[in-house]
Structure 1
Amino acid sequence: MAPVIHCIRHAQGYHNLSVANHSMPDPTLTSLGKEQCENLAKDFPHHESIGAIVASPLRRTIYTALYGFKSLIERGMPVIALPEVCETADVPCDTGSDIAVLKEEMKGKAVDLSRVKEGWNVKTGKWAPTANAIEKRAREARQWLKARPEDEIVVVTHGGFLHYFTEDWSDFNKAMGTGWRNVEYRSYKFADEDGENASLVETKESREFRRGSEIPLTKEERMNLRETAKKTWEEGGDLHPVQAVQAKV
């Protein structure tokens, strides 16, 4: 059976404090961000069921996973860095560090960087800040996760990318660049009827926890919302639509 995926947006990073900080390369967590991780460690209800911890290789996501899931890491569970779930834009704050820098910084920490290869942080080709490229690697990430043997997996990633990853644009906020709050978590199952796309569907419990009782959107409705979001970006200014939004995330 395919695993349940618990998606989490990273804790507050320095780039979240101001537009000027978007020029910071691969920023780490603020003091408030670390406090948010402590709260995540206390409040996340599924610690005992988690079989794997996966995170984007950017510093803010790695540290969110290290701090937020400290109890699991102390039992020997590493953070698996998965570059396919990295952030979408090519602004400095959304561009990861070179692999040599990451290896040096994570030395002695429970972080598995084996999937992070040279060039993962060059925003061209597979990593380009375009809708097609982002959708493709989001699908690759879902396929990889779907094939995992664990029953439940945590994925710590980014607000903008999460809309592509979950294919859910229902609460997309143009002003914020995402509908996800820092350290917000939502739980998903893989759709039974979907094949290679490996689509995710939010669990009833997760949806009700966030919004109360409501009927989930159909796949067609979710895709229509996605197209509306893209059109909104394209009408919003001179930046590439993804960059225009992700500069705020």
Structure 2
Amino acid sequence: MAPTIHLVRHAQGVHNLPGADGTIPDPDLTPLGEEQCARVRADFPSHDRITHLVASPMRRTLYTCIHSFGPDDADQERRRKLYPVTALDLLQEVSEARCDTGSAPEKLAAEFGDRVDVSGVDPKWTDKTNPESKFEPTMAKLVARAREARRALRDIAGKGDGHLVAVSHGGFLHFLTDDWHGIPSDSGKNSYWMGELRFVDPTGQDDEATLQETPESWRRRQGHQIPPTETEKQQMRAAAHKSVRPHLKIKA
């Protein structure tokens, strides 16, 4: 059995509120966002099968992961199993807006304590305007970062049949999955996105570490809509890459 990857968009953040702009640094969840986390915790069917928790180091993604999937304080066995959450900087959002720029690892360590492991976070992960940075939001670097993130998730998940939860962002999840439904109409800002995927090549030899959504997950999210063919996916990708540039503040 190949590992199952549960990809989750963070719950509503303060920057998602009507009238909010992108100047809020590393925003928190709203009360509605916390309610969304509670609903996911109540509805998610595979809590007892989770083997790894991973999240973008943004505060809204870390709190979404903890509130939705983190073990209760009294459950010491699950706390030892699932904590700390692995903070994976490759999963951060795409743009260089202040709301999509995170906090220094030492600040995150002070806030989250032993619930989150920030040891693998690049100290320069917040510098997204540097042309030398892999986090600079150009199209080529976003595609490359998505590939690197898939490889990282594959390494973390291992070769068993475990269930890994990874919490990321509405914009970057489209790059990570190469699923461009909903672009550019909502860009994930008004919905809580969750999909269940597996690696196409379970042997780990695929350099792209391509992910494919399970049929059950597709039906849950898309109903009876027929999944796109490879040709249709290529066409949607090309159209989406062109249309999301101004919305996601991608430079080129």
Bigger mean CA offset, 33-42 vs 64-73: 64-73
Alignment of 1:89 onto 2:98: no
Amino acid in the other structure paired with 2:223:
G
Distance 1:199 1:220 in 2: 16
Tell which deviates more after alignment, 81-90 or 69-78: 69-78
Mapped to 1, the partners of 2:42 and 2:21 lie a distance apart of 29
* Segments of 4+ moved more than 4 angstroms: none
Aligned-partner Cα distance in 2 for 1:233–1:159: 12
Q: How far apart, CA to CA, are the structure 1 residues paired with 2:121 and 2:93?
A: 14
Query: How far apart are 1:177 and its partner, in Å?
Result: 2.1
1:165 aligns with 2:176: yes
The structural deviation recorded for 1:135 is 1.0
User: 2: CA distance between counterparts of 1:212 and 1:143?
Assistant: 29
Change (3 A) 1:3 1:128: same
Q: Distance in 1 between matches of 2:68 and 2:145?
A: 25
Equivalent-residue separation in structure 2 for 1:9 and 1:168 (angstroms): 13
State the secondary structure of the residue aligned to 1:71.
coil
Instruction: Choose the corresponding residue for 1:188, options 194, 197, 204.
Output: 197
Counterparts of 1:9-24 in structure 2, within 5 Å, are: 9-24=9-24
State the distance in 2 between where 1:230 and 1:69 align.
Answer: 32
Deviations 1:146-202 (A, max 9, x none): 233252110100000000000011x223242238712x3110111139820111111
Q: Equivalents in 2 of 1:72, 1:62: separation in Å?
A: 16
Q: Structure 1's 233 and 54: CA in aligned 2 closer, same or farther, altered over 3 A? A: closer
Confirm or deny: 8 A CA contact 2:151 2:208 kept in the other structure: yes
* Partner residue in 1 for 2:60: 60
Q: Identity across aligned pairs (percent)?
A: 40
Q: What does residue range 37-56 of structure 1 map to in structure 2 within 5 Å?
A: 37-56=37-56
Name the TM-score, length of structure 1 as normaliser.
0.87
Query: What SS is found at the alignment partner of 1:88?
Result: coil
Give, in whole Å, the separation in 2 of the partners of 1:199 and 1:5: 12
Distance across 1 between alignment mates of 2:140 and 2:72? 35
Cα deviation 1:83-127 (Å, max 9, x = unaligned):
0010000000000011121111112x4111111121011103200
Q: Secondary structure at the match of 2:22?
A: helix
Over aligned residues, Cα RMSD in angstroms? 2.2
1:102 maps onto 2:113 in alignment: no
Aligned to 1:247: none
Q: Give the aligned length.
A: 237
Matches within 5 A, 1:69-88: 69-71=69-71, 74=75, 75-76=78-79, 77-78=82-83, 79-88=85-94
Q: Which amino acid aligns with 1:65?
A: C
1:191-206 aligned at under 5 Å gives the runs 191-192=200-201, 195-206=206-217
CA distance in 1, matches of 2:211, 2:68: 23
Amino acid of the structure 2 residue aligned with 1:12: Q
